Structure 1
Amino acid sequence: MKRSRAQHLLASALQIAQLPAASAALYQSVVQTSYGPIQGLAAFSNATAANISNWQNVGVWKGIPFAASTAGQNRWRPPQPRAAWNTTLVASSYGPGCPTTQGESATAGEDCLYLNIWSAANSTTDKLPVILWSHPAGGSSADALFDGGGMAAQNVVFVNYNYRDGVFGWLATPELSAEMGAANGNSSGNWGMLDQFAALKWVHANIAAFGGDPDRITTVGQSAGSAAAYHMVNSPLVKGLIVGAIAESGVRDPYDPLAASLAESYNNMTYSLSIGAAFLQANNATSIAQLRAIPLASLTDTSSQPGSGAGFRPTLDGYAVPDKYINTLLKIGPANDVPFMTGNTRDESGADFTLTSMNVSSYVAAMQAQYGNATFGNSSTSLAARALALYPAANASQAAMSYNAHWRDTSLVSSWKFALGWATKANSSMYTYYWDHAPPGQNQGAHHMSEINYVFNNLYRTDLPWTADDYAIAKTMSAYWANFAKTGNPNLGGSYDGDGNLTWWNSTPGSANSTAVMHVGDGWGDVPIAEPGQIQLILDYFSEQVPF
């Protein structure tokens, strides 16, 4: 049964009354924002605070609207300001997820631009560093995996939020571009990105009320969320609003063909307009007004979306996305020249080799299709032949292992090559990592997204058979991320309270000839990104590609 505002207030008051009298955590007070007063609640009880220090002070404010509903006339428009409120908003439940990105949210709808805040501050003057988390595609800020209590316990204010995706986030048409007007680049197709920027601007304007420092915001995201972090680094629309960025799985070299197809990819305007026109036609509409009048359920019917899935994605518009990645990296430089961290997991390709159903012939065919029979430089050996020699497949098991290793090395070389490019125009440090710990109770290895629980030290929110090693790894991982938010350096900040000291994390490149990456997970410290011959193969392959 839905509770009334009065019932929310009563429940919150009872919960606060049950806390120890000595506690002076900020969530016990009503905080004042530029939109109105907000009351939070305790993030933990004794039962859920295992391995979390300082848990008694951690509060959470859920379901704070940072923009107006995107329904009706606001559909496919930049996020609009939310109306202020006079009575206290009891922030005790998550807001709805956005259409097509519901995740674990109980509901989804176009009134979805909400954020959540975790803070262990005792005062609005604490000025704690801030992490702004952008979720991957298909998720929502309500997902248990993105709970920020463990990070907040390290005296970092943690914020996550929703943004539009799919056709709601990335539709472009000439009419929408005309609506934006010259002042906004005469562009369309990046509504989700504008949501991301609006969340950042809201945090910058209001986070002091939650004990955060608006001048120390680090943008962090994974997969599609890592693209959001990268766009905040590159876009002049949010220049000066961040002091650091972490892109998990991860930013790639513009010469890597996967940069054009994975989460960080974008469409050129011509293609975005073509799938926008097809979407209008599929919905029997000739104008945006007609599209805005169609019920949400009809628009979210993927059978009527010719551009569903990978089709609708950010657009290279010269406005929100100022230029191609290759130009931003090597010629222009980032709008926000800030310390940057990026990396990949061992099994980014989708599965550990134990799940890969591949035989020798299919493996050979896949490698030949990718690398081709062309030779490189003075070598008479084709790239495909070199690849098969470096990643051999005498039997099906070895084929599966080699296939996964080949994609692992490609990810590591690609991020390392991006770091070399970063150093040509940016002055800030770059840190790269390689995550290889497989969470227990599953058979996909160190899969895509597998590091997130450990980064946030929120194992308490995921039902897996965690071991003492998992808790120790989470303590170390979250310390590196918290330190980075505090100082722009994963080594400095005093967040680690485990046994011994953190292993020193060298920036990339550590030296002119270094091909090392920071190993995190089942070990700590520098490891080579791949064998020299494997690195050269991948670099030769990249050099023949059209940069993105």
Structure 2
Amino acid sequence: MRINETSTRGLSVLSLLAPVSATLYDQTIQLAQGKVQGTAAFNESGAPSYISNWKDIAVWKGIPYAATTGGENRWKPPQRAPSWNGTMKATSFGPSCPSLSAGDGVSEDCLSINIWSPATATDAKLPVMLWSYAAGGESSQSTYDGAGMAAKDVIFVSYNYRTGPLGWLTLHELAEETGATGNYGLLDQIEALKWVYENIAAFGGDPESITVAGQSFGSGAAYHLVNSPRTKGMIKCAIAESGLKDPYDPDLWGYGSDYRNMTWAYAFSKTYAESLNATSVADLRSMNLETVLSGTGVSDFTGFDPVLNYHAIPNKYIVSLDEGAPNDVPILVGNNKDENGIDLSTTYTVAEYKSEINSTYGPYAAELLALHPAENTTQATAAYNSILRAGYCTSTWSWAKRWNQSSTEPVYYYLWTYSPPGSDGATHGSEVSYALNNLYAQTTSSYTDTDYEVANIMSSYWANFVKTQNPNKGGSYNNGTLPYWGPNVPAQQNTFELGSLWKKIAFATAKEIQLYLEYFKYATPSPY
């Protein structure tokens, strides 16, 4: 709903109003942009039996946090959010930002935000989780339904942001316009955080207790926000699911938290513009959306990434790790057992296994093969997956160790091992619905009591962390006592298993870890 863009930025919540009590979806919420009214997240016939406070959970969908990104606003930082007359009925998700996998309702007028709140008074000051979706995602996906987290007394916020060429195009002419180029998607993410910081009190939230969170590319978004000086003081803690790696790890490229250098990004974006016969930014802005999404490099979006422009991203990660990030906050981070190149449906002969390891690890291959011998296809497949798993777990563990060296705050490192119904292993993204406690919103009908209990434990750790910056404390678990999850200790080479054992386990041998740390520096002499 884009009616009147005359609001004054920074006024946000009209804080002089008396706190409102009762279910917030029955109330009109006053923002500086205008009045807004939400709706109930559940009705009596559809409410999950395990959510006792379902009657209190309100949801507001599609509230604009910035202006349209189309027309002359294309490849500009997010512009001032619109205001409106009357009361906005925030009961439907806004359009999705353009991507190759977005569903119906795609538009460049897409910068909107969604809020699930269990508060029964506007002065409840509940902690907040701001969720960034994975690559190709959209905030309306059922995977990111926020009512399950709201059931554990956490306000859950999701939002849309630009991606692909619309989010990351990097051109010299754009730099001349505003002093920086690229990272328009990251600027959207920063703007969404600012909007939440300024407005969430009206929905019963505490602006001084915001956790930035996400999975895969969304975990990269959370980490970019932690590392940006433009967000300093607005973040209480961070959750990064399947995204953070050692800055020397060559597999960081193409992963959730990666970025490109400016030389590469300028060349890639120049090729894209030339493929559309555009000689200026004005040419690109005059094109329709279908044309913009047809240029070279758009087919899988992998070349359009955040860039190290020393603006929204101020330093290499190695610098932030060595010197300390602008936001020194507790972080919960981890991996899934069967991701990052592991496909349990693929098998390897002994010859194929040895060839793959030799071609990837060069001078370190012989020692890795000796540590993981194989005499048949079954052993070769298991050994191949074990080597990959040890590598990405070592990478995230090494990142956590580096963070511990410059940070005063703890890191909680996990390995998700649970295989959901219909899934071939603990695959990439398989933990999200469990962590967000929203199995009720998914299409599968084969969840068992075990699934719901795994989700209860998993989401309780997440909710506790948002509440207290400690996954063990916060009162979120309603079925006894949570197994204790201690923070990462640099001298200990382990991780916390989530999904079955619920305890600290070894992810690799000391010899493997040392080999990988040496291999990382061999493969990437100049770190991220």
**What's the CA shift for 1:110?**
0.5
Q: Distance in 2 between matches of 1:219 and 1:101?
A: 25
Q: Which amino acid aligns with 1:505?
A: W
Paired residue secondary structure (2:514): helix
- Residues 268-279 of structure 1 mapped to structure 2, 5 A cutoff: 268-279=261-272
**What's the CA shift for 1:102?**
4.9
Q: Distance in 1 between matches of 2:373 and 2:283?
A: 56
**What's the CA shift for 1:325?**
0.7
305-314 or 449-458, which deviates more: 305-314
Deviations 1:285-336 (A, max 9, x none): 110001000110111125x447852211010000111011111111x21100
Matched, 1:472 2:453: yes
Matched, 1:530 2:523: no
Give the structure-2-normalised TM-score.
0.93
1:342 aligns to what? 333
Q: Distance in 1 between matches of 2:486 and 2:51?
A: 28
**What's the CA shift for 1:352?**
4.3
Paired residue secondary structure (1:441): coil
**What's the CA shift for 1:130?**
0.2
1:483 aligns to what? 464
Q: Which amino acid aligns with 2:519?
A: Y
Deviations 1:462-488 (A, max 9, x none): 122101000001001111000110111
Q: Are 1:345 and 1:434, in contact at CA under 8 Å, matched by a contact in 2? A: yes
Q: Are 1:252 and 1:418, in contact at CA under 8 Å, matched by a contact in 2? A: yes
- Residues 147-296 of structure 1 mapped to structure 2, 5 A cutoff: 147-180=145-178, 186-296=179-289
Q: 2:358 aligns with which of 355, 363, 368?
A: 368
Paired residue secondary structure (2:256): coil
Q: 2:384 aligns with which of 403, 420, 425?
A: 403
**What's the CA shift for 1:274?**
0.7
Paired residue secondary structure (1:540): helix
Q: Distance in 1 between matches of 2:177 and 2:291?
A: 24
2:51 aligns to what? 52
Q: Which amino acid aligns with 2:242?
A: S
Q: Distance in 2 between matches of 1:518 and 1:250?
A: 17
Q: 1:426 aligns with which of 371, 396, 407?
A: 407
Against the structure 1 CA distance between its residues 43 and 208, is the aligned structure 2 distance closer, same or farther, given a 3 Å change threshold?
same
Q: Distance in 2 between matches of 1:204 and 1:433?
A: 29
Q: Are 1:99 and 1:109, in contact at CA under 8 Å, matched by a contact in 2? A: yes
- Residues 307-322 of structure 1 mapped to structure 2, 5 A cutoff: 309-322=301-314
Deviations 1:168-187 (A, max 9, x none): 1000101100111xxxxx22
Q: Which amino acid aligns with 1:470?
A: D
**What's the CA shift for 1:28?**
1.3
Paired residue secondary structure (1:267): coil
1:386 aligns to what? 367
**What's the CA shift for 1:540?**
2.3
Q: Which amino acid aligns with 2:81?
A: R
**What's the CA shift for 1:397?**
2.2
Q: Distance in 1 between matches of 2:47 and 2:139?
A: 20
**What's the CA shift for 1:350?**
4.8
2:126 aligns to what? 128
1:377 aligns to what? none
Q: Are 1:251 and 1:418, in contact at CA under 8 Å, matched by a contact in 2? A: yes
Q: Are 1:151 and 1:457, in contact at CA under 8 Å, matched by a contact in 2? A: yes
Q: Are 1:275 and 1:306, in contact at CA under 8 Å, matched by a contact in 2? A: no
Q: 2:349 aligns with which of 338, 341, 359?
A: 359
Deviations 1:252-287 (A, max 9, x none): 111111112312111101111111211111111110
C-alpha RMSD of the superposition: 1.7
Q: Are 2:219 and 2:240, in contact at CA under 8 Å, matched by a contact in 1? A: yes
**What's the CA shift for 1:111?**
0.7
**What's the CA shift for 1:496?**
0.8
**What's the CA shift for 1:534?**
2.0
Q: Are 1:483 and 1:494, in contact at CA under 8 Å, matched by a contact in 2? A: yes
Q: Distance in 1 between matches of 2:404 and 2:341?
A: 30
Q: Distance in 1 between matches of 2:514 and 2:294?
A: 46
Q: Which amino acid aligns with 1:462?
A: Q
Paired residue secondary structure (2:348): coil
Question: Percent identity between the aligned chains?
Answer: 46
**What's the CA shift for 1:250?**
2.3
Q: 1:417 aligns with which of 387, 398, 405?
A: 398
2:485 aligns to what? 505
Paired residue secondary structure (2:129): strand
Q: 2:24 aligns with which of 26, 37, 46?
A: 26
Paired residue secondary structure (2:409): coil
**What's the CA shift for 1:392?**
2.6
Name structure 1 gaps, 5 residues minimum. Answer: 6-22, 181-185, 375-382
How many residues are paired up? 506
Paired residue secondary structure (2:206): strand
Q: Distance in 2 between matches of 1:86 and 1:150?
A: 32
270-279 or 534-543, which deviates more: 534-543
**What's the CA shift for 1:532?**
2.2
Give the structure-1-normalised TM-score.
0.90
Q: Are 2:62 and 2:90, in contact at CA under 8 Å, matched by a contact in 1? A: yes
Paired residue secondary structure (2:194): helix
Q: Which amino acid aligns with 1:458?
A: N
Q: Are 2:297 and 2:303, in contact at CA under 8 Å, matched by a contact in 1? A: no
Paired residue secondary structure (2:62): strand
Q: Are 1:244 and 1:485, in contact at CA under 8 Å, matched by a contact in 2? A: yes
Q: Are 2:162 and 2:185, in contact at CA under 8 Å, matched by a contact in 1? A: yes
Q: Which amino acid aligns with 2:238?
A: A
Q: Distance in 1 between matches of 2:450 and 2:120?
A: 32
Q: Distance in 2 between matches of 1:439 and 1:230?
A: 27
